[in-house]
Amino acid sequence: MTRSSLRPTPAQDKARARSWRIFRLRGLHAQCHMLTGFERELALAAIDIELFKLGAESESKRQADIRRKWEIAE
């Protein structure tokens, strides 16, 4: 019997749950751009803090890096 036919280990379940949460938080970060003013800043900061607590790079930093990369390429 191969490993792929067995139930995922608890560590794999935990890692998948973490990855899925990070994915959903990044989507929420994108949706928060519909907000305006202080509410937007507050929501984006809160999401970045949650990502940091999960050990992931903040979405604000990721987006800034992507913008910088495209600006250099032009």
DSSP code of 6?
Answer: S
Amino acid of residue 40:
R
Classify residue 20 by its DSSP letter: H
List pLDDT tens digits, range 27-61: 999 999 999 999 999 999 999 999 999 999 999 99
pTM value is 0.82
Residue type for 13, please? D
pLDDT tens figures, 2-18: 667 789 999 999 999 99
60, burial (CB in 10 Å: exposed 0-12, middle 13-18, buried 19+): middle
Give the single-character DSSP code of 35: S
CA distances from 21 to 10, 15, 60, 67 (A): 16, 10, 17, 24
